[in-house]
Every structure is written in structure tokens, then in C-alpha cells.
């Protein structure tokens, strides 16, 4: 079957770009069935190097939290008419103990994850399906600035695409790697030890 693809390029931190995108969505003759949120501006920087970089935190919140919230608030009425679906591509880090150097990124992704999970029951009551996909490291251009990540195992974008597609037709509520449960248990059981030892390890660097 033939498919028509339309591309609307926009910086969702820019108010005019956002309004343009929303106008485009509202003009779709067949409405809207699915929204996939894959916001992910990432910054790895120690707090000591962030003292004069407050903009690191505002820009990560702008694209990872405020933009998807604004987009969904505007599209929920459209999705409700079609009994549609919202898929949020999150990170496993939102379910684990926070890591040093990632304060800006983790705070912004956790903020939207919490917003989305809080809104999900209300959205479900409207007939809108919700799916949270928690991913580990994915081999994309976003991880290239972090040299240590080049040596770590990472999911391929093709694998992730299959997970998203499966979530669309299955409408599963949550996807997360099978091993994440062990990381979550460790985050609860060994949090005190982690918080005690991590500063000592950072001092030796």
C-alpha cells in the first residue's frame, strides 16, 4: 500500500516553530492517531563545570520536558477523537539511582516521565493508549560526544524501531529490558552504599 510522508522541521524550543507544527497537525485531514515522543537532548558535565552554565539546565528542560508537554496538551483533544496512542521514549536511568555528571539530562527526562505516568490514567480514561519505553544505551549520534560510551554495548536504532512498531500494534503499556528489575532492586537496596562510595571514587579522579 502506498504511503505519504510529510516532514515538518521545527525547533520545539522556539515558540513560532511550535505554533507552526501545531497548525500543521490541526490541518491534517484525517486527524492524528499516534504521537511518539523521542525528545533527548543530552549533556554530560560535572556540576563544578556547570556553575556558569545555567543554560545547560534550561535547554535540556526546554526540549526534554516543556516541549513534549506543550505538544501533548495541544494534541490530546485530537487523539481523543481517534482513540489514539502516545508513546514516550524514555531512558532506563529514570528508574535507577541518578548518576554523577548527568544532572541536567536525568532531571529533564525524569520530569517528563513523571508527568506522563501521572497523566496516563486520565488519558486512558479518555480512550487514549499510553506506552512508556525505557531504553538503555542506543547507538546514535547523541552518544558520540561521550568517548566512554563508544566501548559499551548499545542497542541498534533498528532494534529500537522494531520495539516502537510492536508497541503500536500491541498497545503495550510498558517496555523495559528484562535486566532492569535487578538494577531497580540494587538502586533501592544499595542506595546508601552507592551514595557513600561514589564521592570517594570521584575524589580519586
The catalytic site residues sit at 105
Nearest-angstrom CA–CA distance, 112 and 98: 15
Nearest-angstrom CA–CA distance, 164 and 128: 17
**Which grid coordinates belong to 17?**
516553530
- Of the candidates 84, 97, 60, the one whose C-alpha atom is nearest the C-alpha of residue 168 is 84
**Which grid coordinates belong to 46?**
560535572
Secondary structure of residue 86 in the 3-state scheme = strand
Spatial CB neighbours of 202, under 8 Å, sequence gap ≥ 6: 100
Amino acid at each position: 500500500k502506498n504511503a505519504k510522508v510529510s516532514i515538518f522541521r521545527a525547533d520545539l524550543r522556539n515558540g513560532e516553530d511550535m505554533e507552526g507544527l501545531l497548525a500543521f497537525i490541526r490541518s491534517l485531514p484525517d486527524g492524528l492517531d499516534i504521537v511518539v515522543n523521542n525528545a533527548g537532548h543530552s549533556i554530560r558535565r560535572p556540576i563544578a563545570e556547570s556553575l556558569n552554565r545555567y543554560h545547560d539546565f534550561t535547554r535540556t528542560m526546554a526540549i526534554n520536558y516543556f516541549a513534549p508537554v506543550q505538544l501533548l496538551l495541544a494534541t490530546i483533544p485530537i487523539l481523543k477523537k481517534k482513540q489514539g496512542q502516545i508513546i514516550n521514549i524514555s531512558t532506563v536511568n529514570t528508574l535507577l539511582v541518578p548518576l554523577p555528571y548527568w544532572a541536567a539530562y536525568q532531571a529533564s527526562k525524569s520530569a517528563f516521565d513523571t508527568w506522563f505516568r501521572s497523566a496516563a490514567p486520565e488519558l486512558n480514561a479518555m480512550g487514549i493508549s499510553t506506552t512508556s519505553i525505557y531504553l538503555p544505551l542506543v547507538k546514535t549520534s547523541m552518544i558520540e560526544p561521550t568517548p566512554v560510551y563508544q566501548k559499551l554495548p548499545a542497542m541498534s536504532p533498528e532494534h529500537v524501531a522494531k520495539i516502537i512498531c510492536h508497541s503500536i500494534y500491541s498497545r503495550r503499556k510498558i517496555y523495559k529490558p528484562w535486566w532492569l528489575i535487578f538494577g531497580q532492586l540494587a538502586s533501592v537496596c544499595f542506595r546508601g552504599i552507592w551514595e557513600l562510595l561514589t564521592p570517594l571514587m570521584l575524589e580519586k579522579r
